Amino acid sequence: MKIHHAITDGVGAVKIAMHLFDLERDVELDRGDVPDEPDIHVMTQFERMRDALDHERRRQLGIARRATASLTAAATSAAADAAGTMRRFGDTLSSVGRMLAPATSPLSPIMTGRSLSVRFDTITVPLPELKAASKRVDGKLNDAFVAAVLGGLKRYHEHHGTDVDALRMTMPINIRNEETSDLAGNQFAPARFAVPMTIDDPIERMRATRELVARQRAEPALSLAEPLAGILYRLPTTITTGVFGSLLRGIDFVTSNVPGVPVPVYFGGGRLEAQFAFGPMSGAAANITLLSYLDEVQIAINSDPAAVPDSDVFLSCLVEGFDEIRKVA
């Protein structure tokens, strides 16, 4: 299946998929009485425009209410702790600056080309092994996953006789809370940061990954992703294109970890054996997305042939990176 990011993110896609899948192979459908065919009204262009304006008005009111609540809380906090509030305000501004800072070119000296072509590859790894490896550093599955990818990219650069100190990675961070945990749609913020490529020891690499990701999750700007996007979308197209282009131009690779379904599921009486989620490259040389299912992690790899012309070598290096992490479990 193909679902555009305009509809949902990875976590939301799994929620949508569970409306398509069954938990049993044989399911008797009791549809009940079929309702009468509804009256269909095809909206005119004017009605569509009015409906769109009404929707936008409701959305802006929602943003305004949330902003008012935040400002009220900030004002209350300011009365009690003016110095602390100013410090937090400064931290938020710095965080926004880091989020929107332009990156003119990739950090990789070899994965520099970009095109509209794509190559698809897959890797399957036992889920318990990656989880056990992450426990060595009191981490989570994502720490082992990203550390394995870093090990693979380090090998790929070494294969080409190139040493690189760091690469720039984008990682979507789920920002769902108690109110939005059940929603599909897009509820993520794209974290973009440099990751070290000089750590040989896989355990130390997982530990460094855990600390890096924890700092990114604590960035104050993550909570402002929606209003910031709203502001950017209202700028002239040339400015918006320039801003987003500067954000995407310097990305080396994307990683995404999507929690999948932990139980067997069925579709039309057939058992789902595997599911690979190929995420968008968003201007990067490659996107490596992990989707868990039962006791496996199924890893989908999109790579740009202009950046990675030897995809067989690239895949082999990534497999070695995962094997290295699995051995420390």
**Amino acid letter, residue 273:** E
Report the alpha-carbon distance of residue 93 to residue 227 in Å, rounded: 14
One domain for residues 90 and 115:
no
One domain for residues 110 and 236:
yes
Cβ atoms of 173 and 193 closer than 8 Å: no
One domain for residues 133 and 279:
yes
One domain for residues 123 and 94:
no
Residue ranges in the chain whose pLDDT is less than 50: none
Model pLDDT for residues 1-60, shown as the tens digit of each residue: 777 777 777 777 777 888 888 888 887 776 678 788 888 889 899 999 898 888 878 877
Helix (H) or strand (E) holding 173, with range, is strand 166-174
pLDDT for 61: 79
Model pLDDT for residues 76-98, shown as the tens digit of each residue: 665 556 555 555 555 555 655 55
User: Of the residues 67, 99, 131, which one is the last residue of a structural domain?
Assistant: 99
Residue by residue, DSSP assigns 93-123 as: HHHHHHHH----S-S-SSS----S--EEEEE
Residues facing 167 on adjacent strands: 195
One domain for residues 231 and 148:
yes
User: Of the residues 55, 84, 99, which one is the last residue of a structural domain?
Assistant: 99
Q: How many domains does the chain have?
A: 2
The domain of 117 spans 104-327
One domain for residues 120 and 68:
no
User: Of the residues 80, 99, 118, which one is the last residue of a structural domain?
Assistant: 99
One domain for residues 258 and 135:
yes
One domain for residues 94 and 189:
no
Is the pTM higher than 0.85?
Answer: no
29 belongs to a structural domain:
no
65 belongs to a structural domain:
yes
Number of Cα atoms under 13 Å in the Cβ half of residue 174: 20
Burial (CB count within 10 angstroms: exposed 0-12, middle 13-18, buried 19+), residue 139: buried
Burial (CB count within 10 angstroms: exposed 0-12, middle 13-18, buried 19+), residue 240: middle
One domain for residues 128 and 260:
yes
85 belongs to a structural domain:
yes
